Amino acid sequence: MNPLPRILGMALFVVLAVLTALLAAPAWRAPRADPTTARNPAAAPASPHDPAAPAASPRAARLAPLPLQTALALALTGTVLAGLLLFSLAYRPAQPTDSKSPFRHARSEIDALAKLAQSSVAQGTELTRERDVRRRAEEDALLKEHLLTRSLEEKVRLGRDLHDGIIQSLYAVGLTLEAARGALRADPAEADRKLEQCRTLLNKSIREARAYITGLAPESLRRAGFARALDTLLAELRTGRAAEFEVEVDDDATALLSPEQSLEALQIAREAVSNALRHGGASRVKLRVHQGDREVCLLVQDNGTGFDASGGRDGGHGLGNMRARAASVGATLRVTSQPGEGTRVVATLPVAQPAAV
């Protein structure tokens, strides 16, 4: 409770009490009327209007309009009212907002703030946990997507390898068997030699299949070298065909290629030569590998029947596989062909270092 009203009431009571005492004192000390004066009017004090009477002072003249008894009555009334005010303040019932402890309200506010802080911390912890769970879920989804994409890429790569590798080898076996069948009656010894070649080619295809399964194809190419691997490839593809090959390989240029670039370039050359023999019926094939400013170029050109390069071949995957292989190592592939004018395939592979001057 605010103590100021009590203090002000007490001060008012004291002031009125003192004023009452000061006013009451002259009234008790005022002289009574002299009986002799009452009996002898001559002895009475002169009238104020008597010219012989002494003049009254100005202060007395100002106090004359207020009787002393009236002032005393007002002072007593104020004193009684002040006392009643003090009594009402002293015995006023406590208000609901009053508190015996001045810190109880502050303590309740502090408790409320503490509960709010605990709730905020709990909510923050829950949000952090949910964010971590969501982040782990997103990471798992990205990992699964990456694994799925990688699996699809491996499937596509395996399909290209099978098409450009084993299938071409099996096709060469088929051509050799046809040649052996034609020589079976005319020259049995030649037929037997071609059958032996077929057995050799089949064993080689089995080894290639195992190499693809175990992922050793790039390592085999690195051990054999690009030029030697290309000669082996051409010897396999020319079996059963009377075709001439003009090969020019710059060893310095092939040394600039990475193992992945060497493997893809070899597969592009195999596909281009196989298409020239199988589909174009070419009798002469030119194959060249040389270096440019910051690139290595692979050229395969034949004198076959050619085709419409803008439409491709129906049902075939050769051109698409060559473009995919070139794109996988950052190379560009250009195929130029017209019906009756042969085919020209150029693969340009970027290298990290410039060619030596």
Domains of the chain, residue spans: 207-350
For residues 282 and 223, the model is more confident at 282
For residues 45 and 285, the model is more confident at 285
Q: Please answer whether residues 344 and 337 qualify as being in contact, where contact means their C-beta atoms are separated by less than 8 angstroms.
A: yes
- Determine the pLDDT at residue 61: 43
Residue 265 pLDDT grade (very low, low, confident, very high; cuts 50, 70, 90): very high
- Determine the pLDDT at residue 311: 64
Q: What percent of the chain has pLDDT over 70?
A: 69
Residue 94 pLDDT exceeds 90: no
For residues 77 and 348, the model is more confident at 348
Cα-only R_g, the chain: 62
- Measured from the Cβ of residue 213, the count of other Cβ atoms closer than 10 Å reads 10
Q: Please answer whether residues 248 and 290 qualify as being in contact, where contact means their C-beta atoms are separated by less than 8 angstroms.
A: yes
Q: Are strands 284-291 and 332-337 parallel, antiparallel or unpaired?
A: unpaired
Residue 151 pLDDT grade (very low, low, confident, very high; cuts 50, 70, 90): low
Look at residue 79 and give its three-state secondary structure: helix
**Average pLDDT, stretch 96-122?**
73
What architecture is domain 207-350? 2-Layer Sandwich (3.30)
- Measured from the Cβ of residue 237, the count of other Cβ atoms closer than 10 Å reads 24
- Tokens representing 75 are 């002072």
Which is nearest to 77 in space by CA: 17, 165, 11, 138?
17
Task: Specify the pTM.
Answer: 0.45
pLDDT in tens, 293-347: 889 999 999 999 998 877 655 445 678 888 888 998 999 999 999 898 899 999 9
User: What is the pLDDT of the chain when averaged over all its residues?
Assistant: 75
Q: Please answer whether residues 335 and 309 qualify as being in contact, where contact means their C-beta atoms are separated by less than 8 angstroms.
A: yes
Q: What percent of the chain has pLDDT over 90?
A: 15
For residues 353 and 284, the model is more confident at 284
- Determine the pLDDT at residue 48: 44
For residues 38 and 211, the model is more confident at 211
Q: Are strands 244-249 and 343-350 parallel, antiparallel or unpaired?
A: unpaired
